[in-house]
């Protein structure tokens, strides 16, 4: 006989995931009060879940501040994970890397964000932009995220956007209408751009392709701002060509 699931077990897991996502872009951690406000849960509930996650090493306390942050167990689990979702697009990433000499990354949808799952760093330049594996970005202010949105039907894409678009830099687009205009521009080529929208000094262009199993992946070119301007046309041409070849390969 199958054991009955404890009442509220699924809800507890969902709430734990909320807490972890709230902390993913907070390397200095958050206090319990800040966490409770972020996830809109009672502080007593947050405290109970944080205590359980900390006992498993999934959260760690910052003793000097009383805050909590992502714990070391995550790094161990990530390193042990055998799944390499990026493998189908790796040849196209390598093609771009060889042609442009810039950092090339691959991302996938993770909730309402895009998460970097593979990176081929630039070896041609001393000054280079590096996206870290595991790093996650909002969909609306990253080239990778916009590529995913452009690959969706418009109603689905708009449902992925938060009601308020937070500003990460002075270049972040915070208007949903402006985001829609960018998606319209990407309709023909599939190429999307982010010019210092998530991080100052870093620009990117990206495409999204659906590989043979149906998974939607992004391929992006990440470039320091000072080298990006003047290279946009070459980057766009390279991405358009790779997208065309990838779509042909995965449609067979």
- DSSP assignments along 104-146, one per residue: EEEEEEETTEEEEEEEE--SS-SS---PPTT-EEEGGGSHHHH
As a whole number, the mean pLDDT across the chain is 87
pLDDT tens digits, 189-221: 999 999 999 999 999 999 999 998 888 999 999
What global pTM score does this model have? 0.70
Question: What is the per-residue pLDDT across 35-52, written as a single tens digit (0 to 9) for each?
Answer: 999 888 999 999 999 999
The secondary element (H helix, E strand) that includes residue 208 is strand 202-210
Question: Given a cut of 80, is residue 92 above it in pLDDT?
Answer: yes
Are 206 and 219 in contact by the 8 Å Cβ rule? The answer is yes
> Does residue 168 contact residue 198 with C-beta atoms inside 8 Å?
yes
Describe the chain by its helix, strand, coil percentages, rounded to 5: 45, 20, 35
Higher pLDDT, 129 or 178: 178
Distance of CA 224 to the CA centre of its chain: 19
The residue with greater pLDDT, 80 or 182, is: 182
pLDDT at 5: 40
Q: Which domains does the chain have, with CATH numbers?
A: 9-76 (1.10.10.10), 83-250 (3.30.450.40)
148-180 confidence digits (pLDDT tens): 999 998 988 888 888 889 999 999 999 999 999
């Amino acid at each position: 006989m199958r054991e009955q699931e404890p009442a509220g077990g699924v809800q507890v897991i969902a709430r734990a995931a909320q807490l972890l996502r709230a902390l993913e872009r907070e390397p200095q951690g958050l206090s319990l009060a800040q966490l409770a406000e972020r996830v809109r849960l009672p502080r007593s509930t947050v405290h109970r879940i944080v205590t359980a996650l900390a006992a498993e090493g999934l959260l760690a306390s910052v003793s000097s501040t009383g805050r909590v942050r992502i714990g070391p167990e995550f790094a161990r689990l990530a390193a042990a994970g055998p799944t390499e979702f990026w493998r189908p697009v790796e040849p196209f990433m390598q093609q771009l890397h060889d042609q442009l000499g810039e950092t090339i990354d691959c991302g996938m949808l993770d909730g309402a964000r895009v998460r970097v799952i593979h990176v081929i760093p630039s070896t041609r330049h001393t000054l280079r932009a590096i996206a870290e594996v595991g790093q996650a970005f909002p969909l609306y202010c990253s080239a990778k995220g916009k590529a995913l949105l452009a690959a969706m039907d418009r109603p689905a894409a708009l449902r992925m956007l938060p009601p308020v678009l937070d500003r990460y830099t002075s270049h972040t687009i915070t208007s949903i209408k402006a985001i829609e205009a960018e998606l319209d521009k990407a309709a023909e080529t599939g190429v999307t751009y982010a010019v210092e929208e998530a991080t100052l000094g870093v620009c990117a262009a990206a495409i999204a392709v659906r590989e043979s199993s149906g998974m939607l992946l992004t391929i992006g070119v990440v470039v320091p701002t000072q080298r990006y301007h003047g290279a946009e046309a070459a980057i766009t041409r390279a991405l358009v060509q790779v997208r065309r070849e990838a779509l042909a390969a995965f449609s067979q």
